[in-house]
């Protein structure tokens, strides 16, 4: 690219920034591949722009987005480092440009005027983002007879145990933490989450417990050590299984804790208590009747079942489970086969399967903070992460965690813990009040 063309492209984006700045009015600047930057909003008293910057690292980004302005294309451009950020996290960028008021003001900008200004980019080659880390197969999992659950789970969880250690707490809990005080750190909040889960299940010494999708074994080990139960976990992740087996041995819990690399549908024993923490999102809405029925068949007559899962807001239309662009991106790059339910449908499926619902508790704000902390911790260890899994995987996970935090903050994603009993007739197995949960 010759200097004259570079100058024309820079001038075009400077004009675009000047159109955006009065409408966005945010502490953000646009930084280009040659190091030049233009304010997208407020300036400091000394005339300097914000340190928070949205970076276009390759002029090919613009023609790429002009030809295909989709979320999938943005994700690919970010994964390849063609779009970047400086001076903060992706959550900071999202808070600045993704709020409802910001989006409304940006829509007021004339698209015709923007396109006219960007004419110098027409005819240019787009940035090369052809190769990208994505699931190769039926990422939607719509064909339930042929979908491979182990491949789906392995794509997300078998990235590397060392990678997850970079941002998870010491116990390796990869689900929503519980903050009894918002000032608590992640280690304290995850311990409290494990303990709250055990208290909700009213675990007693000598009982048997099944944890479906047990991850790296944190809950089954916690339940055995602190509540004296015999805990069994099942997972489809080879990396998680190997880690948990070693952990159980190191903690001397072989007589109380066991784990299998098996699909929950192949479990046959019956248990006093069952938990499913963060596994529900992998099931798929069409398979929920089978999921609920199987779990009830594994639960003893007076047993309790705690289901913990991410949901989305309910909608009246029959197409309420249709996938939006962000959901399609999620199954392609993060969770193949995943699908979010709404809490109303979850409760209906529980009751249709014969459960009695005792408690429903929303943890939306808890997960907004959990994923924010994960994102910040992973971002702070960028170089280590890239060395372990490569830059594309690192970037996709940062984008995923940032997107989750923003979604839970804004309420487009929710999360609930639901406690249900096997027996819907006669006395239940829960106390008359919930005071025991908050001792």
The set of catalytic residues is: 404
Q: Residue 384: which of 90, 165, 120 has the closest Cα?
A: 165
Q: Is 195 exposed, middle or buried (0-12, 13-18, 19+ CB in 10 A)?
A: middle
Classify 353 in phi/psi space as left (phi over 0), alpha (psi -120 to 50) or beta: alpha
Beta bridge partners of 307: 276, 418
HSE-CB at 340 with a 13 A cutoff on CA atoms is: 22
Residue with tokens 């200097």: 3
Measured between alpha carbons, how far is 261 from 189 in angstroms, rounded to an integer? 28
Are the C-beta atoms of 54 and 20 separated by less than 8 Å?
A: no
CB atoms within 10 A of CB 358: 17
Are the C-beta atoms of 304 and 420 separated by less than 8 Å?
A: yes
Q: Residue 374: which of 406, 398, 338, 409 has the closest Cα?
A: 398
Beta bridge partners of 306: 275, 419
State the sign of the Cα–Cα–Cα–Cα dihedral 177, 178, 179, 185.
Answer: negative
| 156 secondary structure, DSSP code | H
Residue with tokens 């086969």: 337
Are the C-beta atoms of 423 and 201 separated by less than 8 Å?
A: no
Q: Is 434 exposed, middle or buried (0-12, 13-18, 19+ CB in 10 A)?
A: middle
């Amino acid at each position: 690219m010759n200097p004259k063309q570079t100058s024309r492209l820079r001038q075009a984006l400077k004009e675009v920034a000047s159109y955006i700045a009065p409408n966005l009015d945010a502490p953000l600047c646009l930084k280009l591949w040659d190091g030049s930057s233009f304010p997208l909003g407020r300036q400091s008293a000394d005339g300097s722009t914000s340190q928070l910057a949205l970076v276009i690292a390759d002029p090919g980004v613009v023609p790429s987005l002009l030809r295909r302005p989709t979320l999938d294309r943005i994700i690919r451009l970010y994964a390849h480092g063609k779009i970047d950020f400086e001076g903060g996290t992706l959550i900071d960028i999202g808070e600045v440009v993704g709020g409802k008021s910001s989006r409304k003001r940006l829509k007021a900008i004339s698209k015709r005027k923007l396109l006219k200004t960007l004419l110098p980019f027409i005819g240019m080659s787009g940035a090369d983002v052809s190769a990208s880390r994505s699931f190769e197969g039926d990422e939607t999992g719509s064909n339930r007879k042929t979908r491979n659950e182990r491949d789906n789970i392995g794509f997300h969880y078998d990235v590397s145990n060392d990678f997850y250690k970079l941002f998870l707490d010491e116990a390796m809990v990869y689900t929503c933490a519980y903050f009894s005080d918002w000032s608590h750190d992640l280690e304290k909040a995850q311990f409290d989450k494990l303990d709250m889960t055990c208290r909700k299940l009213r675990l007693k010494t000598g009982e048997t417990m099944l944890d479906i999708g047990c991850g790296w074994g944190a809950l089954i080990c916690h339940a055995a050590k602190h509540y004296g139960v015999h805990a069994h976990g099942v997972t489809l992740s080879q990396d998680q299984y190997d880690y948990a087996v070693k952990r159980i041995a190191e903690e001397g819990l072989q007589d109380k804790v066991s784990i299998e690399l098996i699909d929950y549908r192949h479990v046959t024993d019956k248990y006093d208590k069952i938990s499913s923490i963060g596994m529900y999102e992998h099931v798929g809405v069409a398979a929920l009747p089978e999921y609920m029925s199987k779990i009830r068949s594994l639960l003893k007559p007076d047993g309790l079942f705690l289901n913990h899962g991410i949901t989305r807001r309910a909608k009246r239309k029959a197409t309420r489970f249709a996938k939006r662009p962000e959901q399609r991106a999620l199954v392609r790059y993060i969770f193949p086969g995943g699908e979010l339910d709404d809490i109303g449908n979850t409760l209906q499926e529980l009751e249709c399967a014969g459960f009695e619902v005792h408690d429903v508790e929303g943890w939306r704000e808890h997960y907004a903070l959990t994923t924010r902390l994960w994102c910040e911790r992973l971002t702070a260890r960028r170089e280590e992460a890239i060395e372990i899994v490569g830059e594309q995987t690192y970037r996709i996970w940062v984008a995923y965690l940032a997107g989750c935090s923003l979604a839970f903050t804004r309420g487009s994603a929710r999360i609930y813990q639901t406690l249900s009993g096997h027996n819907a007739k006669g006395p239940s197995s829960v106390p008359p009040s919930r005071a025991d949960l908050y001792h």
